[in-house]
Structure 1
Amino acid sequence: MKFAKQLETEAEDIPSEWRPYLIQYKALKKLISKIAAEIERRGLSAALLRECLKQGTDYKTGFRIKYYFTGEPPNVRPCIQFDYPRNESGLPDLLKKLTAHHHDENDTQDIGNNVNARPKLQYQKTENDTDFFTLSSKDLNTPRRKSETTDMMKQLVDLTLNKSNNGHSPPDSDEEEEEEDHDDHHHDDHALTQLQEGEEGEQDNTTHHVSEMKHLVIELEREDEFFYALTTELEQAVELQKSTTHKFEEDVRELEYRMVAVSSPQHESDMYAWRSIFSLYMDAQIFRGKAERDRTMRSVEQSRSQLAWFSQQLSQQKLLNKFKTKASRDAFRQFQALNTELLTLKHYQLLNQTAVTKILKKHDKRSGLTASKSFPTFLRTSKLGDIRLADILCASVLTRLASVIPQPDDYLCPVCLAVAWRPIRLVCGHVFCVRCLIKGQKKHVKDCPLCRHPGAVEQASALNLDIPMQNLLKTYFPKEIKQKKKDNEREQAIEDVQAMTGRKYTEEQLMRMNDSQKCIIM
């Protein structure tokens, strides 16, 4: 399926109010055809420009052709820059022909009606050893015929290309045209004076070759229409994303306030239901991986698949049935809507990014230029830079909502892997439950088991009890603490029996005693 048709099909999944802000791929394709036609009419060709731009800088001769962008969106100016040594005589002579007014001797008509008038480079300005010219796009609809400017533009490119690759001649274009223009004599004379002054008095110095270079920049006016349309659409897309982001963040803050209320310890049943839901949500890794080795953002297809898996697991585990209040059910519907909206925004961004990439590649193929490389670089330095809003909003959901309800995994003792009830914080900062710490001291463990801080376990006492953390555990993990107390009492009872009877139980026996299942025989 062609991308234009694919874009139309996938746009149906985007909200109707967003569709006008998708990149208009078909309209841009039509503008590319105009660019290709203009380049041919200029006496160039896609093959010729592609060959030129492939050549690296020849540091022996200094000749080089570069394609780049300037200006501020949406007024972007695509330019071709010719770099050449000051002492190069061929190029200024050629420029003199390109910029000089030329009429036939029998010319008695106005220049606008003179069929023998030929177009030329329009001088703009000179800054920092750089002469700026424009190829006028006026009178492009005049009949095409043999044009001296066409031949001289070929010579300009050929001169640079041949110097840079030691005589290899690129292919020529067969397209020819005549154009008409009316320029100021003063500007043309000033341009030639700048070129000639740059040659006079210049010494041959190969050590500082860069300082001997001059630059000629030609702005491609006809390309302006294409890049103006493209950057205008990108600006509109950015504005849509900004407004959507603002609304999304407000919805996240509103949901955060609602969840704080519905999942408070006063609603213990709903609190545990929400905790299970968010634990499952984190395991689903809908938008981003949570493993240390995989923190990458998921693709649209992966996110859609994982979101479906998350919904399926909720139904299988019947977690939504555990909600006791209507407020919790309403909050969950809002949570699901935010995830769907985030997935839609991610899809919208993908469609626009793909459209821009493909249209630039098509532009390069038809024109021979390198916009697919230089234009994204130009955008990154502008206000239309690559901002990953979907990634930012995903992080907002994870940090704001997932942190509302404390998860037991964040408060586990690293030894027994249960909630660290009666948490003892060592001098190194690591936290252990009091039971595991006492067992470690009985076994004469001195250093921290995690970071090997000297004497951390040996020096621990009741003064190391983390009271704020203990209060938090008591508030948010009443069931886990109850189970932890039960396990501690059972373990203490076993130790007392061993102390009174002198009998030592094996690890296997202790595991059987800790098994909550009844004996299948007795």
Structure 2
Amino acid sequence: MKFGQDFQAALARDEYPQQWIDSAISYKKLKKCIKRVQEELQSLGLDKGILDELWQHVDIGPNNGEVSAADTRLHYSMDGASEVKFTPKLTIAIDPTDGSPVDAWLSSNTRRVLRELAKSSHTTSDSSSSRSNSVVGRSEVRGSLSHDKAEPRADLPADPDCPSEIQQNERAQHLETIEVPLTSDSEFFQILRRELADLDSLQQSERERMEKEIIKLGHELRDLKSNKSKKSRQEIEVWRRIFELYSDAEVFLSSHEADAGSRDYTHAQQHFQHFSKALQAQQNGVLKLSKPVAESLGRFLNINIKLLRLMKFQDINRTALAKIMKKFDKRTALHAQSSIQSSLITTPYLAQNLARATCFTISEEILTVIPQLNDYLCPICFSISWKPVRLRCNHIFCIRCMIVLQRQEKTHCPLCREEVVMEANADDVDREMMKFLKSNFRADVKQKQKDNELAAGIDRWGAQYESSQKCIIM
């Protein structure tokens, strides 16, 4: 099955809204435009085989196959690429003495057509008449030709002492060029630009809609957190567990070295499924959802599903764009991807990382509302940093681990290796952070206090202290 059919099937299969489908890349329509471009080039004597022959004698730069700026023998460009209307054009260097293309072994028919174009340009320049009516031969209905005159070329014999690049530059200064406007190309890229603008608009509106839902949910969580009732505290703990599972799943962004960065749709979908399964397992076990939490959780999951759906739609349209540009170059030999695609990929639809932008909003408006215990663990014992000692290097450790380090006379910070451990004292306990931890992690703080008391008793009375704390009722 060809890509065009696969593309249409994907749009229909996923049941996208009609507005989305109307904004998608019109792959079949653009394919028909490519056929008209081929016919136009053939009418000028420049079919694919001939253009391939011309490109063989053009210097290709080291970056992405781009044509060297110093090579003027053949150049495909686009005037007004940032405006609504623009005209792609093919610039061909010719020998001013006979109008022949430079360094190209072409058919006699192509040479004849290009000579007619050159003669037409000369006539236009000499008579100062309108260029649009001066084209003769097969280019008569193709629009105007611009002709850049240069000084008559002098014979430039090969100089063994002169570098070839300098010779080429001197030679280029004595060449003349003709510019062939390509009407069908203009139609192709105008359609493409218009559709990319539609996709930009669609993506922006959908993103704004998702952000409104995220902000609304964030306000609900803030209201819940400000409520000091026992029920509210229980619901906050449920949300804390949900967000812990969500953060561990790393649905859209990965922090692992092997695949750090944004995930594509396929991997994001897989990680969202892992999160959904883990959440379901918790619901079947210890995680009990009240009706308000269940409703808010449903909206949170729906936000993620919408983002995944929009990412998938973005991916298939990006693939359609890559395919149609590849087909354009394959059938026309105009090297459009290396010449003008940079003006296309600057559109927000192609350049913007949708998942990263939306995940930032989720993090700022939702995840940070309910702090996660993992963000406040001591780097040594991996339990809550109670009481938090902030060293001069600004790293934080729980007071129990700091006492152990000082007893062992370890002077260096375990994280940055700065000599700051032995100078720490009671004044370095972060009182504001203590208040924050006690307010947000009551159960964890209470357990850490018990553990610290037990450890202190063992230090003073020995290992038998632990067993003496166990009370046996007869």
**SS state at 1:199 partner:** coil
Say if 1:423 and 1:466, in contact at 8 Å, map to a contact too. yes
Q: Deviation of residue 216 (structure 1)? A: 3.5
Distance 1:38 1:337 in 2: 50
Which stretch of structure 1 is more off in the superposition, 261-270 or 350-359? 261-270
Residue 306, structure 1, aligned to residue 271, structure 2: yes
Structure 2: runs of 5+ lacking an equivalent: 61-67, 102-111, 158-165
Say if 2:262 and 2:355, in contact at 8 Å, map to a contact too. no
After TM superposition, the structure 1 = structure 2 runs for residues 46-125 of structure 1, keeping only pairs within 5 Å, are 46-57=48-59, 64-71=73-80, 72-83=82-93, 88-91=96-99, 97-98=116-117, 100=119
Structure 2 residue aligned with 1:8: 8
Q: Deviation of residue 307 (structure 1)? A: 1.7
Structure 1: runs of 5+ lacking an equivalent: 102-119, 126-131, 138-147, 150-177, 499-504
Distance 1:350 1:392 in 2: 16
Using a 3 Å threshold, how does the CA distance of structure 1 residues 420 and 285 change in structure 2: closer, same or farther? same
Say if 1:121 and 1:136, in contact at 8 Å, map to a contact too. no
Structure 1 residue aligned with 2:357: 392
Distance 1:82 1:518 in 2: 97
After TM superposition, the structure 1 = structure 2 runs for residues 319-468 of structure 1, keeping only pairs within 5 Å, are 322=287, 325-380=290-345, 386-454=351-419, 456-468=420-432
Which stretch of structure 1 is more off in the superposition, 329-338 or 89-98? 89-98
Say if 1:122 and 1:133, in contact at 8 Å, map to a contact too. no
Q: Deviation of residue 73 (structure 1)? A: 4.8
Q: Deviation of residue 232 (structure 1)? A: 1.0
Say if 1:422 and 1:470, in contact at 8 Å, map to a contact too. yes
Distance 1:135 1:337 in 2: 61
Distance 2:383 2:240 in 1: 16
Distance 1:322 1:45 in 2: 68
Say if 1:133 and 1:216, in contact at 8 Å, map to a contact too. no
Using a 3 Å threshold, how does the CA distance of structure 1 residues 52 and 390 change in structure 2: closer, same or farther? farther
Deviations 1:282-328 (A, max 9, x none): 22222121224432322222222222222122111117984564332
Using a 3 Å threshold, how does the CA distance of structure 1 residues 123 and 228 change in structure 2: closer, same or farther? farther
Distance 1:56 1:179 in 2: 24
Q: Deviation of residue 385 (structure 1)? A: 5.8
Distance 2:142 2:383 in 1: 86
Which stretch of structure 1 is more off in the superposition, 258-267 or 15-24? 258-267
Q: Deviation of residue 31 (structure 1)? A: 1.6
Identity %: 29
Q: Deviation of residue 476 (structure 1)? A: 0.8
Using a 3 Å threshold, how does the CA distance of structure 1 residues 368 and 121 change in structure 2: closer, same or farther? farther
Say if 1:379 and 1:386, in contact at 8 Å, map to a contact too. no
Structure 2 residue aligned with 1:37: 39
Residue 487, structure 1, aligned to residue 440, structure 2: no
After TM superposition, the structure 1 = structure 2 runs for residues 151-230 of structure 1, keeping only pairs within 5 Å, are 178=138, 180=140, 195=149, 198-199=151-152, 206=167, 209=170, 215-230=177-192
Residue 247, structure 1, aligned to residue 209, structure 2: yes
Using a 3 Å threshold, how does the CA distance of structure 1 residues 325 and 135 change in structure 2: closer, same or farther? farther
Q: Deviation of residue 448 (structure 1)? A: 1.6
**SS state at 2:79 partner:** strand
Q: Deviation of residue 92 (structure 1)? A: 8.1
Distance 1:320 1:390 in 2: 31
How many residues end up aligned between the 2 structures? 434
Deviations 1:10-67 (A, max 9, x none): 21312333111111111111221222122222212112212322433399x9652122
Using a 3 Å threshold, how does the CA distance of structure 1 residues 426 and 322 change in structure 2: closer, same or farther? same
Distance 1:259 1:320 in 2: 24
Which stretch of structure 1 is more off in the superposition, 473-482 or 395-404? 395-404
- In terms of fraction of residues, the more helix-rich structure is 2
Distance 1:73 1:409 in 2: 51
Using a 3 Å threshold, how does the CA distance of structure 1 residues 124 and 250 change in structure 2: closer, same or farther? farther
Distance 1:231 1:207 in 2: 37
Equivalent AA in structure 2 for residue 40 of structure 1:
Q
Distance 2:168 2:48 in 1: 36
| Superposition TM-score, scaled by structure 2 size | 0.80
Distance 1:464 1:309 in 2: 42
Distance 1:121 1:282 in 2: 69
Deviations 1:203-257 (A, max 9, x none): 9984963655654332211221111111111111111111112222222211211
After TM superposition, the structure 1 = structure 2 runs for residues 281-292 of structure 1, keeping only pairs within 5 Å, are 281-292=246-257
Q: Deviation of residue 461 (structure 1)? A: 0.9
Structure 2 residue aligned with 1:295: 260
Using a 3 Å threshold, how does the CA distance of structure 1 residues 384 and 307 change in structure 2: closer, same or farther? closer
Say if 1:134 and 1:218, in contact at 8 Å, map to a contact too. no
**SS state at 2:262 partner:** coil
Distance 1:208 1:342 in 2: 53
Q: Deviation of residue 382 (structure 1)? A: 6.2
Distance 2:39 2:361 in 1: 48
Deviations 1:163-204 (A, max 9, x none): xxxxxxxxxxxxxxx565599xxx99xx77x62x63289999
Q: Which has the larger radius of gyration?
A: 1
Match for 1:259 among 218, 221, 225?
A: 221
Equivalent AA in structure 1 for residue 191 of structure 2:
A
